[in-house]
């Protein structure tokens, strides 16, 4: 949820944000007027309640005729209060409905526009030159005995796969490398639940426009998470955190589940886009004034990981229309995929400012001891998809794949060879 105080003070900023996202500006004014109506409804109901409270005290003391008269008056007041409360609650519902529909206010420096309007912030490394025809990650994976898509489909359907032998080991090595880096940087490693309650899923902003992306277990009214961001954001919900010592940093290791609804025909080959994958994700709670600096740190940590697996990549500043509901700004790192001759997303670092925290009621005490909404951020350290970039960029003519130096201690071998 956006901050209504900020909205009242500077509605134009929110309108500008809606424009940057390519969304409806009128929503802003509808929200403003709903806010106004709610506040007057609250004031009216408060006044009546105060009156009723006073009267109630008198009834307790009165006797005889006086008491009867007061009771009659009380009945009338009770009806008035009931009506005023109904009006208040209607106004509150209407406000809430509009409130949750407004996405986070886009950072003023984020590019406006849609998916293709990103800005490239930098490119690191150069795409490898092969003196042979490079093979894609699926063929490589099959030859290495690392990947079995056919049986994945047999057992679970399309977009499912088995990581087999060295494939499974490779993923563990990647995730362990990520977990080790996170731990070394002061993150608390977490293995969270991957099924969450509706209010947690809603609080993270995934039940809005992206609701169809989320698996739901109807019988139990639980949702399968698409990222450990969800349980980690819920971890401190309804709490007042002590952030005086700095940000709280968590690294969540979990399986992630995505329905990939509406992506028919996209990335159908291999493990680029799948229903289930594993990920180590950084998640941070901090004071709002520290969020932007923390966002830069998350990006730096992602780049540190990419450097360790030695693949060329670029960093993009994602445009407003492609941000998702909760993010104010998002930096993606995209690795070079040789057989596609283009960059593909490997990491994503979002600054959600106070948007998620306000929904989930995560607060901290400011220097005056007042509770305030905290800021939350998240960023990727490693996922199953990284295997794609790793295999393709480090392949050799004989079908073997060189293991990057940093990964060797975790994998135990220097080269993966065809079986």
Partner RNA sequence: GGAGGCGUGGCAGAGCGGCCGAAUGCACCUGUCUUGAAAACAGGAGUCCUUCACGGGACCGGGGGUUCAAAUCCCUCCGCCUCCGCCA
Residue closer to RNA (CB basis): 74 or 288: 74
Q: How far is residue 379's CA from residue 350's CA, in Å, rounded to a whole number? A: 6
Let me know if 67 is a catalytic residue.
no
Q: Binding RNA by CB under 7 A: which of 11, 27, 30, 52?
A: 52
Residue 294, annotated as binding a ligand: no
- Residue 14: is it exposed, middle or buried by C-beta count within 10 angstroms (0-12/13-18/19+)? buried
Minimum CB–partner distance for residue 165 and RNA (Å) = 24
Q: Binding of RNA at residue 42 (CB under 7 A)?
A: yes
Let me know if 39 is a catalytic residue.
no
Q: Binding RNA by CB under 7 A: which of 26, 71, 261, 413?
A: 71
Residue 346, annotated as binding a ligand: yes
Q: Binding RNA by CB under 7 A: which of 39, 216, 344, 408?
A: 39
Q: Binding of RNA at residue 349 (CB under 7 A)?
A: no
What phi, psi does 239 have (nearest 5°)? -125, 155
Q: How far is residue 35's CA from residue 27's CA, in Å, rounded to a whole number? A: 12
Let me know if 40 is a catalytic residue.
no
Minimum CB–partner distance for residue 277 and RNA (Å) = 24
Residue 394, annotated as binding a ligand: no
Count, residues near RNA per rule CB under 7 A = 29
Q: Cβ neighbours of residue 176 under 8 Å, at least 6 residues apart?
A: 410
Instruction: Show the tokens assigned to 285.
Output: 């709670």
What phi, psi does 347 have (nearest 5°)? -135, 160
Q: Binding RNA by CB under 7 A: which of 26, 43, 96, 415?
A: 43
Residue closer to RNA (CB basis): 3 or 290: 3
Q: Cβ neighbours of residue 104 under 8 Å, at least 6 residues apart?
A: 2, 17, 205, 323, 325, 326, 327, 328, 352, 353, 355
Longest distance between any two alpha carbons in the chain, whole Å: 105
Q: How many CB atoms lie within 10 A of CB 64?
A: 7
Q: How far is residue 55's CA from residue 155's CA, in Å, rounded to a whole number? A: 70
Q: How far is residue 383's CA from residue 334's CA, in Å, rounded to a whole number? A: 13
- Catalytic residue, chosen from 254, 348, 350, 358, is 348
Let me know if 82 is a catalytic residue.
no
Q: x/- binding map, residues 77-116, to RNA, per CB under 7 A?
A: xx--x-------x---------------------------
Q: Binding of RNA at residue 69 (CB under 7 A)?
A: no
Looking only at residues 229 through 248 of this chain, which bind RNA when binding is defined by CB under 7 A?
240
Minimum CB–partner distance for residue 338 and RNA (Å) = 43
Q: Binding of RNA at residue 50 (CB under 7 A)?
A: yes
Q: How far is residue 110's CA from residue 117's CA, in Å, rounded to a whole number? A: 10
- Catalytic residue, chosen from 19, 67, 273, 417, is 273
Q: How far is residue 400's CA from residue 146's CA, in Å, rounded to a whole number? A: 12
Instruction: Show the tokens assigned to 418.
Output: 């065809």
Nearest residue to 99 (alpha-carbon basis) of 231, 223, 3, 234: 3
Q: Quick one: the chain helix, strand, coil %, rounded to 5?
A: 45, 20, 30
Q: How far is residue 384's CA from residue 315's CA, in Å, rounded to a whole number? A: 19
Q: Tell me which stretch binds RNA (CB under 7 A): 14-22, 37-45, 129-137, 287-295.
A: 37-45
- Catalytic residue, chosen from 21, 38, 248, 258, is 258
Q: Binding RNA by CB under 7 A: which of 13, 32, 59, 87?
A: 59
Residue closer to RNA (CB basis): 242 or 289: 242
Q: Binding RNA by CB under 7 A: which of 29, 46, 93, 304?
A: 46
Helix axes 26-61, 64-101, angle to 10 degrees: 160
- List of residues contacting RNA (CB under 7 A): 4, 39, 42-43, 45-47, 49-50, 52-57, 59-60, 71, 74-75, 77-78, 81, 89, 240, 363, 369-371
* Known binding residues for L-serine: 227-229, 258, 281, 378, 380
Which residues are known catalytic residues?
A: 258, 273, 345, 348, 385
């Amino acid at each position: 949820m956006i901050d209504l105080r900020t909205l009242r003070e500077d509605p134009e900023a929110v309108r500008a944000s809606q424009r940057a996202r390519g969304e409806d500006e009128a929503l802003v004014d509808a929200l403003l007027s709903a806010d106004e109506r709610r506040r007057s409804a609250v004031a009216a109901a408060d006044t009546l309640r105060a009156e009723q409270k006073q009267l109630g005290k008198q009834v307790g003391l009165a006797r005889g005729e006086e008491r009867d008269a007061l009771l009659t008056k009380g009945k009338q007041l009770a009806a008035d209060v009931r009506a005023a409360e109904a009006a208040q609650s209607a106004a509150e519902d209407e406000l809430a409905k509009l409130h949750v529909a407004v996405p986070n206010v886009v950072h003023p420096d984020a590019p406006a526009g849609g998916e293709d309007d990103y800005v490239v912030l930098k490119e690191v490394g150069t795409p490898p030159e092969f003196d042979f025809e490079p093979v894609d990650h699926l063929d490589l994976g099959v030859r290495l005995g690392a990947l079995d898509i056919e049986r994945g489909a047999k057992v679970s359907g399309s977009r499912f796969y088995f990581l087999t032998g060295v494939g499974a080991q490779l993923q563990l090595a990647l995730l362990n490398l990520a977990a080790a880096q996170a731990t070394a940087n002061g993150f608390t490693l977490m293995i969270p639940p991957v099924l969450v309650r509706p209010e947690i899923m809603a609080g993270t902003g995934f039940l809005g426009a992206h609701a169809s992306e989320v698996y739901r277990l109807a019988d139990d009214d639980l949702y399968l998470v698409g990222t450990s961001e969800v349980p980690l954001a819920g971890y401190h919900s309804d709490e007042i955190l002590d952030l005086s010592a700095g940000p709280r940093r968590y690294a969540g290791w979990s399986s992630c589940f995505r329905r990939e609804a509406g992506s028919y025909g996209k990335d159908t080959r291999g493990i680029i886009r799948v229903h289930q994958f594993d990920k180590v994700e950084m998640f941070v709670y901090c004071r709002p004034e520290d969020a932007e600096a923390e966002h830069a740190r998350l990006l730096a940590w992602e780049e540190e990981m990419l450097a360790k697996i030695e693949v060329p990549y670029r960093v993009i500043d994602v445009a407003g229309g492609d941000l998702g509901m909760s993010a104010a700004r998002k930096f993606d790192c995209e690795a070079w995929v040789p057989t596609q001759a283009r960059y593909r997303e490997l990491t994503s670092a979002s600054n959600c400012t106070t948007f998620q925290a306000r929904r989930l009621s995560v607060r901290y005490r400011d220097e005056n001891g007042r509770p305030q909404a905290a800021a939350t951020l998240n960023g990727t350290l490693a996922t199953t998809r990284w295997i794609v970039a790793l295999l393709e960029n480090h392949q050799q003519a004989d079908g073997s794949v060189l293991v990057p130096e940093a990964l060797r201690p975790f994998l135990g071998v220097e080269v993966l060879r065809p079986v």
